Amino acid sequence: MRHGSPSSTSPAITPVVLADAASVAERVAALLLADRLHPQRPLGLATGRTMEPVYGALARRMARLEAALATRVRDTWCSFNLDEYVGLAPQDPTSFAATMARQLVAPLGLDPERVRLPDGQAADPEAEARRYGAAVSAAGGIGLQLLGLGLNGHVGFNEPPSDPAVACRCVVLSDHTRRQNAGGFGGDPGAVPRQAITLGLAEILSARRVLLVVTGAEKAAILRRTLEEPPSADLPASWLQHHPALTVIADADAMLS
């Protein structure tokens, strides 16, 4: 991939290459806030190391808004997170619900009921996945979907192999993903839950706009494959090439040749 060259990606993909992760966070936060100032559909949110500085930048931008505008954002906020671990209570500090409470709900002063996630403690995770997918559909589907990129090409927790028609469901996490996420569990992959509920590629690809955010040299190889290889179930993120409104925002390290 030529550095930041639009010609090296699908014509439907808008690549934005910025100097560093901090610049990426600021650009993404600006896009999220613009979406919430003129909301049409719910916002699709993600968690992970890439997203933490994004939510920090979003909180700073909210703090600088005029009071009336900030109130409007809070009063009209509606978001659905991509996923949640099975077996973790919302109060568990390692749950995505707790992560969103720390990184988004409290800093922005949001009503927690407006920031929705799957119920990781549901007695029947498969039934909860169906309920959550139906809730997204009933809300009109996702407007702007925020995505990170897993080192094995997963988006949300859509592990390989995943085809583009898979809907919200309960999945078994790969050993690769559990190792990647071990940092949130004291560095112990064995402590990472074995299952999660995730929105499927069907919901992700149905979003009006998709924003794929990638930072760090360790993601360069998988980002290049995501954008250049023929879409396949073995590389779930590659299905994003078919989306008509995909923007990739990456730092220079992630967009290396």
Instruction: Note if 242 is an active site residue.
Output: no
**Out of 84, 119, 159, 251, which one is annotated catalytic?**
159
Instruction: Note if 154 is an active site residue.
Output: yes
Distance CA 52, CA 208 (A): 24
Distance CA 61, CA 63 (A): 5
**Out of 26, 92, 152, 229, which one is annotated catalytic?**
152
**Out of 119, 154, 181, 251, which one is annotated catalytic?**
154
**Out of 83, 84, 119, 203, which one is annotated catalytic?**
83
Q: Which residues of 107-135 are buried (b: 16+ CB within 10 A; e: fewer)?
A: bbebeeeebbbbbbbbeebeebbbebbee
Instruction: Note if 158 is an active site residue.
Output: no
Distance CA 72, CA 80 (A): 19
Q: Provide the annotated active-site residues.
A: 83, 152, 154, 159
